[in-house]
Amino acid sequence: MPVKIGIDVGGTFTDLFVVDAEGRSRSFKVLTTPDSPAEGVIEGLGKAARAFDLTLEAFLRGVILIVHGTTITTNAVLAHRVARTGLLTTEGFRDLLHMRRGIRETYYRSKIDPPPPLVPRALIAPIRERIDRDGNVAIPLDERSVAEALDLFRRNGVEAIAISFLFSFLNPAHEARARDLCARALPDCYLSVGSEILPQVRAYERHSTVALNAAVGPPLDAYLRDLVERLARNGFEGELRIMQSNGGVVTPEVSRRLAVQTLLSGPAAGPIAGLFYGRQRGIDQLMTIDMGGTSFDVSLVRGGALSLTSDGELGGYRIATQSLDIVSVGAGGGSIARVDGAGVLKVGPASAGAKPGPACYGLGGDQPTVTDADLILGYLNPLRFCGGELALDARRAREAVEARVARPLGLGVVEAAWGIYNVVNATMANAMRVLSVRRGHDPREFALVAAGGAGPLHAEMLARELGISLILVPRESAVFCGAGMLMADLKHQFVRSLPCGLARADLDRLNRTLSAMAAEGTATLRAEGVAKSETRLSVSFDLRYAGQFNEIEIELPYAGAPLGPADLERLHAAFHDRHDALFGYRLPLEHVELITVRLTALGMTEKPLPKKLAWAGSDPASAMLEERPAYFDGRFVPSRVYGASGLGYGHRVTGPALIELPATTIVLSPAFQGEVDEVGNFLLFPRSLELDEALTRVRGAPP
């Protein structure tokens, strides 16, 4: 039977979510292989094949689709293992990339250093050329200066070339010619061209994005070639798609060209999965959290819509391409606990990763981690961790916590573990506030979707901290992003900057631009095999009041017909309303400026549908495995332990309790309870409430 697979390569584990045509699914985890991530992917596929009693070759011949999220580019940036990059830019603007925005990015830290430059100044080549603000050629391209720059790059072993000229978004002719000269002189170099990657205003943001694309392009290209070759060698003949930061998927060929769009490749699937599971319960206000081995990612879904941003950052480098709005902090199961010089307990952001891993893994690690603390507190069963495939060593966990946390603080081991648990919870709760409270949203109006191998162990404490009344834990929570990848659509985004007053916008020019972008988007999807009936186009406009620095993105219904004056009036009204909602005021007499036009082309994909379960009653006694002590509010409490495989639709579990899934554990304190829904997901809520009451406390219609 044909199957589809979502694969998420994380910092500690590589997750695989396998689903067949009838909606039956299985999940698998293997330790990530940092030195060769493709090796870990093949190892995970081999594990899945054995579970189906097949050879790897026989199993892969039945796989029709693999959607893959990768951390290759993310790790390359954070570890500064990027390609040696050269930059061609307009003469007179050589230092623009290093000057950044020219403002202090951290207001109260005047001596903070910027990140290492993506391109050394010696490899930034000023080229004599100039396009003016109207798109006209003011100074022709000096091809001799391009040739001299390429000779410099050749002598210095440059692997990638970024090309970003001033006003190229209005007239790309000079960049296109420079690209041709580069391809002819240095055919083995990776090329990143501003007018192809990000044809929009703001020179520094464009420079940074184009340089990032060049810097991470070669490592991504090498990885994808390795992965494709390994898959083909083992019998895979299906389709491979790569997850993008904007929540869509593309072919490997497109991904190689737009490498910068994979910088949040793995986490981007989380909000998509959260929206999918929330819709099953009729909930459209969701906060998704994903706590893996290395990081904690949080995102919002408001009114059934994913939150996007064009003002992203990674490792201090600006990214102006659109991506899902995700806050990520170094707070995972492998986050290392330590006592600093002032005697303060700190947890993360450093992680033990897959190698050597937490002390309790017994793989050589001796640093105390969050997973070690969870084990000491009784939340994890050392014999059933990861389905029993990785036995945990409680003695090593206690020794690590005692030596590096308990003894320096003068605490007992359990007290120290409880401190680690609470400190990492505080870090995660703060990240959740950054995305909600600090942006004007009340977290109590959202349902919490908890995922990741460590997420369900900490979800209840996070919900209580923020006043959230309903937690949804998908049965596939441990491979959440892997599942979300199979729910993503093919997605291509096109952008053009057309700065002008909105009231005076040239409708003919605007419609020509939209028509060209729509044709490009449709043609791209056709080349990927998407039928016209499965194609969806949407447009949005970046607007601002005259004199403002930042824009607000306003979407407008688009069916391909030319826009008219009435559409501009609707944009005006929608912008005033949105500005009022975000900032508490509107300026109806102020001029509104149109800065950028965006078009998104979606190729709708078939989504896996979960199988509905038969009613099993409310008594979960048949699923109870044992009773063991777990630590809640300052003491160990006898807690019932249930196997998730034995829990069916309608079963209700009251805390204190632990629900063990193959690759994670749901922790319920004495104050909480949980119920299994009709597709096998877990709904957690306070014991003082009924499920219907918890559902009414989150926005959106209850089911």
Q: Evaluate whether 337 touches 352 at the Cβ level (below 8 Å).
A: no
Looking at the predicted structure, is the pLDDT value of residue 32 above 50? yes
Same domain, 494 and 599: yes
Per-residue pLDDT, 81: 85
Per the domain annotation, does 377 fall within a domain?
yes
Q: Is residue 327 classed as helix, strand or coil in its secondary structure?
A: strand
The pLDDT > 70 percentage for the chain reads 98
Q: Which is nearest to 694 in space by CA: 470, 412, 522, 385?
A: 470
Q: Is residue 433 classed as helix, strand or coil in its secondary structure?
A: helix
Show the domain range for 363.
335-424
Per-residue pLDDT, 79: 74
Q: How confident is the model at residue 22 (pLDDT cuts 50, 70, 90)?
A: confident
Per-residue pLDDT, 701: 41
For the record, the structure tokens of 138 come out as 């003011």
Per-residue pLDDT, 703: 37
Looking at the predicted structure, is the pLDDT value of residue 146 above 90? yes
Q: CB count, 10 Å around CB of 536?
A: 16
pLDDT in tens, 485-507: 888 889 998 999 988 999 888 99
Element (H, E) at 654: strand 652-654
Q: CB count, 10 Å around CB of 327?
A: 17
Same domain, 501 and 417: no
Same domain, 413 and 501: no
Q: For the ranges 137-151, 475-489, 664-678, 689-703, which has the lowest average pLDDT?
A: 689-703
Mean pLDDT of the chain: 89
Q: What is the mean pLDDT of residues 437-455?
A: 89
Looking at the predicted structure, is the pLDDT value of residue 10 above 80? no
Q: CB count, 10 Å around CB of 669?
A: 20
Looking at the predicted structure, is the pLDDT value of residue 468 above 80? yes
CATH number of the domain that residue 585 is part of: 3.30.1490
Same domain, 402 and 500: no
Q: Taking the model in full, what pTM does it have?
A: 0.86
Per the domain annotation, does 384 fall within a domain?
yes
Q: What is the mean pLDDT of residues 517-525?
A: 92
Per the domain annotation, does 419 fall within a domain?
yes
d(CA 571, CA 578): 10
Same domain, 578 and 494: yes
DSSP 8-state class, residue 369: B
pLDDT in tens, 330-353: 888 889 999 998 899 999 888 887
Looking at the predicted structure, is the pLDDT value of residue 702 above 50? no
Q: How confident is the model at residue 358 (pLDDT cuts 50, 70, 90)?
A: very high
Same domain, 590 and 498: yes
d(CA 217, CA 454): 32
Per the domain annotation, does 530 fall within a domain?
yes
Looking at the predicted structure, is the pLDDT value of residue 317 above 90? no
Q: What is the mean pLDDT of residues 61-66?
A: 93
Per the domain annotation, does 538 fall within a domain?
yes
Q: Evaluate whether 200 touches 496 at the Cβ level (below 8 Å).
A: yes
Per the domain annotation, does 555 fall within a domain?
yes
d(CA 567, CA 555): 11
Query: Which of the listed residues 409, 424, 439 is the one where a domain comes to its end?
Result: 424
Per the domain annotation, does 527 fall within a domain?
yes
Helices 173-185 and 143-155, axial angle in degrees (round to 10): 40
Per the domain annotation, does 474 fall within a domain?
no
Query: Which of the listed residues 408, 424, 440 is the one where a domain comes to its end?
Result: 424
Per-residue burial over 133-166, b = 16 or more CB atoms within 10 Å of its CB, e = otherwise: eeeeeeeebeeebbeebbeebeeeebbbbbbbbb
Biggest CA–CA distance in the chain, Å, is 80
Q: For the ranges 192-206, 315-329, 495-509, 678-692, which has the lowest average pLDDT?
A: 315-329
pLDDT in tens, 364-389: 889 999 999 999 999 998 887 776 77
DSSP 8-state class, residue 201: S
Query: Which of the listed residues 424, 447, 481 is the one where a domain comes to its end?
Result: 424
Query: Count of domains in the chain?
Result: 2
pLDDT in tens, 230-288: 999 999 999 999 999 988 899 999 999 999 999 888 788 888 988 888 888 888 889 99
Q: Is residue 405 classed as helix, strand or coil in its secondary structure?
A: helix
Per-residue pLDDT, 665: 93
